[in-house]
Amino acid sequence: MANLPPTLDFAKTEEDICAKWAAEETFKKQDALSIDRGDEEFTFYDGPPFATGLPHYGHILAGTIKDVVTRYACQTGHHVSRRAGWDCHGLPVEYEIDQKLNITHRDQVLAMGVDKYNDTCRGIVMRYTKEWERTVTRLGRWIDFENDYKTMDPTFMESVWWVFKELFKKNLVYQGYKVMPFSTACGTPLSNFEAGLNYKDVKDPAVVVSFPIVGEEGVSFVAWTTTPWTLPSNIALCVHPTLEYLKILDKKADKRYIIAKARLAQLFPIMNSKKKWKPKMADELYAIEATYEGKDLVGKKYTPMFDYFVGTEGSEQYFQVLSDKYVTDDAGTGIVHQAPAFGEDDYRVCLKHGVIYKGQDLPCPVDSNGIFTDEVTDVKGVHVKKADEALIALIKQKSRLVSKDQLEHSYPFCWRSDTPLIYKAVPSWFIKVEEIRDKVVENNKQTYWVPNQVKEGRFHSWLVDARDWAVSRNRFWGTPIPLWCSEDMEEVICIGSVEELYELSGVRVTDLHKDIVDEITIPSKKNPGTVLRRVDEVFDCWFESGSMPYAQMHYPFENKEKFEKGFPADFIAEGLDQTRGWFYTLMVLSTALFDKPAFKNLIVNGLVLASDGKKMSKRLKNYPDPMLVISKYGADALRMYLINSPVVRAESLKFQESGVLGVVKEVFLPLYNAFRFFVQNMERWESNSGSNFVPSTDKVRATTNPTDVWISAATQGLIKFVHEEMTAYRLYTVMPALVSFVTQLTNWYVRLNRDRLKGLEGELDESETGLQVLYLVLLDVTILMAPFTPFITEYFYQHLRKFQPSYALAKDGGGTSNPVMPGKSDSVHFLTLPAYDESRLNQNAVEAMLALQVIVENGRNVREKRKISLRTPIKSITVIMRNPSANVVDSLNGPLKSYILSELNAWDLVIVPEEEEHEWVTLALTPNFNILGRKLGKKIKDFKTFVTSMSHADAVACLENGGLDFEGLTISAKDELVSKLAFSREGDQWESTSTPEGDFVVAIDCTQDEAILSAGRSRELINAIQQLRKAAGLDLSDKVEVFFEESAGMNVVETSVSSNVNVFEAKFQGAVPVPKKFAPSWSVVLRSDTAEIGGSKVEVSICRPAVAGKDGLDDGVGYFLSTLEPSNVVDQSTLSITVDGKEITLKQGEDFWINTVAKLRATKALSWV
């Protein structure tokens, strides 16, 4: 393991792990282990996406959330069935085929044959499933693609039929007209949800037209519209019953109009200009001849704009004035023209006033492709949006055009064809949502949403205003509505299964699509000799997706007990846009069927936008390809970036590729470095101790090292927190905690214990204890993070498991058997997440460590303010804290003190006791203006002067008393005052800073005497030596001798080393740097470089350890000594050699020494050694 690379290619490593999972069928084995244990079922519904396009960041985000939650459930004792699903029917598929085959009209489909059309649709439905599978798998999401469901499967469609029949039996189905958003390009109505997906700013003609009043010569109503194409279908006008209306003479036009008083500016635009308009100008423009209330105008007849529908059947009540409160006076003329075939309010108002009746055909001269029919002879065959100008010209010819303008406004476009929608009355089959609305609202209250405000706000508002749901579409590729009817609609049969269809028709089918079932007739029971035929429509695909809980399991025909046991689902998740889509349809159908919600828990995610805040667009290419991002940084980084963002709180995220890179740099690299550091030092410990490293929880529990106790407590606290928050589905709190912990582990625990873990601080036992703690923390965190970052945790686990005694049990299939345990189990994802150990939680240790971190971080800031390098020691650091606990003070003065001194390179630490803090700081109070501004009003200035002038003692007393009185008002110290400590000690030697909260003050004594400067230069030399060792590729255990050479006449370095010999001995295993002139002639230089120390250039060399000889030795003796390895002669007092035939005996301590420093000490050639 020591060969772990310095940096890990995370993306490549993930690809290797993907291959390993696939080869070993790890996902299937996790599922099998769970079933074998009899784990409690956790029901998850995956909303089916369309496979006609490639997955984007929205899919990746929702998929990651689903994967995290279901992995967590699997690793906390649950079995989760995770089936992939595909939405196969509906507009997205048909639109693509229409584009491909150049189909612009419904008749073209009928001409080619519905069977051929549907076969073409079927051919593209699953086009991108392999790309989806590759992307989803590479993302690390575990979902069953082999056992997937498709909404076009006969079993799925049969369950949809069952759902509809259940509603039919409950009298919740009816046929009627509904004015709906309508795509003329696709020839089908859309749901309000779909209509809201694609609004654009457009310019439309805005005209004011006149309607002459029958029986009042020369007087006309005036109405304003931005859809002139609806005027041929006008059959009524509508006023507000209580608004004030005027009959005026337009003096310039010499015409009389009736208009709302508040809307005169529509006829006289100058009235809108505050600068130009003067009330006296009114006399020049118009004269008021009569005043009315809206209700006074009701029933008046007028001359229609066009006579296309004059005298038609049912037109007796046409062309009169109606009233309704939906009319407003904030735009237009206060009079609204009514075309009930093209406006929801128009339809409602005309129905209410008896101008039209349910079941009666409406004046609707527009076909399903938006083309005027033969009834409108002047523009027949023209698309409605292209007919505006021709119709305006006709109106002008009739002298009925009062004014013409253009209006820029937001208008809905079809989300598939990107063409303008119209609103059009279509015959439709409805579900009576309004009848069960109260139950739906109540069932929603039983669900738990994250974030809750979406449930209580957006979704609740949608439910309380829910209208009957039009579930039929006049299309071809979908689940046919299973209604067989007589021609007069007097006999209607709803079919709920394939078997029922066979019983009634004698035809058994294996495919339920339109081209198959439309050929089947059912003999009439009411009128023998006649047959019932299926209605033409198919289901809106939202009805299918709302039926997926039942249809994916072919309920109730199969899996009845399994479904009912797992319903409602434990968890679902989708984007904010589904509040009016899937979440809604699930809730409506489950309420109608079972009077239950369809789910218990729901996470709603927000939108992932491009970096500029705009919608991601393939055309604009304003976002990086997801697979390229994954191939650069890895899926774990993308997963963590997404779920550690506001988007999991249903807010928007501006996607930044740099954010994904940030996860790699700030989380994964430090975590990998800590892991690699552990492995290297564990192997060093094994080499030095001659023992194998065996994890021991007992040794971890027994440690008294304060940082060990702290990191163990922090780990247990993290485990506890993750379980609490994941139980509450709050991913947005879990990820910041995990990221913060990684920082605590790598930036604090490992750094504070680096030398100890390396074995440089005494006994091997102490090194092992630290390594035991680090191992257990790494193992716990690896398992805990597995649901969130499945790849890097698998990588770590595969290394960490090998130290466990149970690793030996993995062979011969043991790694994929129960019971699972770290070491034995072949994947981290087989394991149960760790439960927190109450006995190891230690709030005192956590609080004390937090105080240490505040002191160290602020101490560094103070150094920077004075530009004092960390290599230069400081004499003392003084800390003043506001109301610290006794535990914190004792810890800082006791076991944590050495860490603070080391981190800040300080010689002393002073924690100022409370009774002395007035000698160091002043407690300053200021008003909390947000609260007191309202409470004190004008007195706030006087109060500010009063409170900021208080002495330290008075301010302390104020806080201790809980507040103060000011001019008869009680001011609370807790909420209404802000308190901060400020350093007040005099003297240039002090530099200080305080925390933003004002509860910590850290000050340093900046005095720089010779001892301080000397120690600083020693630190610089130590750093230079370390850099040379690193450049030479040396290991910690490799010993060297160090020599330096200063410029002639300089002895800065020698002076510094002489004052800090003990520092160098501790750092370099007894080696002390000495002047180069003392080096044996045979010393082998491993690395040499020039360093700047104390402002002067010094040559520093590290050399292979060599035996030193006394001065003046014969060359032959010197050559012999140069061949010796010091470690081999350390215990030899004499050496015998033969030089030129002469036998010579050399004595250690007289003729040779184990190294140069030993020689200098013995000979006193260098007094300070």
Residue 703: pLDDT band with limits 50, 70, 90: very high
Mean pLDDT of 1100-1120: 91
Q: Any catalytic annotation for residue 837?
A: no
Higher pLDDT, 1070 or 783: 783
pLDDT of 922 above 70: yes
Residue 359: pLDDT band with limits 50, 70, 90: low
Per-residue pLDDT reduced to its tens digit, 995-1004: 888 889 999 9
pLDDT for 483 equals: 97
pLDDT for 103 equals: 83
Catalytic residue from among 30, 48, 132, 1148: 48
Per-residue pLDDT reduced to its tens digit, 602-624: 999 998 888 888 888 766 778 88
Per-residue pLDDT reduced to its tens digit, 792-850: 999 999 999 999 999 999 999 999 999 999 999 999 999 999 999 999 999 999 999 99
Minimum mean pLDDT among 22-31, 65-74, 152-161, 950-959: which range?
A: 950-959
pLDDT for 1108 equals: 94
Mean pLDDT of 668-697: 93
- For residue 944, what are its two tokens? 């500010």
pLDDT of 786 above 90: yes
pLDDT for 301 equals: 95
| Distance separating alpha carbons of residues 120 and 102, to the nearest angstrom | 13
On average, the pLDDT of the chain sits at 91
pLDDT for 289 equals: 92
Mean pLDDT of 451-462: 90
| Distance separating alpha carbons of residues 180 and 536, to the nearest angstrom | 18
pLDDT of 1043 above 60: yes
Residue 78: pLDDT band with limits 50, 70, 90: very high
Backbone angles phi, psi at 633, to 5 degrees: -115, -20
| Distance separating alpha carbons of residues 155 and 559, to the nearest angstrom | 12
pLDDT for 193 equals: 63
pLDDT of 3 above 80: no
pLDDT of 560 above 90: yes
Mean pLDDT of 858-874: 89
Q: Any catalytic annotation for residue 48?
A: yes
Catalytic residue from among 142, 415, 429, 582: 582
pLDDT for 989 equals: 86
Edge-to-edge order in the sheet of strand 1074-1075: 1074-1075, 1041-1046, 1096-1103, 1085-1093
Mean pLDDT of 1113-1120: 88
DSSP letters for 1107-1121: -EE-TT--HHHHHHH
What proportion of the chain, given as a percentage, has pLDDT over 90?
A: 62
Contact 84, 148 (CB under 8 A): yes
Secondary structure of 132-196 in HEC code, one letter for each residue:
HHHHHHHCCCCCEEEEEEECCCHHHHHHHHHHHHHHHHCCCEEEEEEEEEEECCCCEECCHHHHC
Catalytic residue from among 338, 578, 744, 804: 578
Q: Any catalytic annotation for residue 582?
A: yes
pLDDT for 588 equals: 96
Nearest CA-CA partner of 247 in 209, 218, 207? 218
Q: Any catalytic annotation for residue 578?
A: yes
Q: Any catalytic annotation for residue 615?
A: yes
Q: Any catalytic annotation for residue 542?
A: yes
CA 442 to chain centre: 29
Per-residue pLDDT reduced to its tens digit, 185-240: 888 787 766 787 788 888 899 999 999 999 998 999 999 999 999 999 999 999 99
pLDDT of 2 above 70: no
Place of tokens 């250690």: 1148
β-pair partners for 605: 575
Name the amino acid, one letter, at 991: E
Contact 469, 462 (CB under 8 A): no
pLDDT for 114 equals: 92
β-pair partners for 1108: 1153
pLDDT for 9 equals: 94
Place of tokens 């330290």: 952
Catalytic residue from among 116, 130, 203, 615: 615
pLDDT of 990 above 80: yes
Residue 473: pLDDT band with limits 50, 70, 90: confident
| Distance separating alpha carbons of residues 203 and 625, to the nearest angstrom | 34
Per-residue pLDDT reduced to its tens digit, 324-347: 999 998 889 999 999 999 998 999
Backbone angles phi, psi at 1158, to 5 degrees: -60, -40
Packing angle between helix 764-785 and helix 706-727, nearest 10 degrees?
Answer: 10
Contact 208, 223 (CB under 8 A): yes
pLDDT of 1 above 60: no
pLDDT of 402 above 70: yes
Catalytic residue from among 46, 67, 87, 388: 87
Mean pLDDT of 506-512: 95
Mean pLDDT of 118-134: 86
β-pair partners for 408: 203
Backbone angles phi, psi at 672, to 5 degrees: -65, -40
Contact 963, 970 (CB under 8 A): yes
Distances (CA, A) of 1021 to 446, 1056, 1064: 69, 9, 10
Catalytic residue from among 12, 618, 621, 802: 618
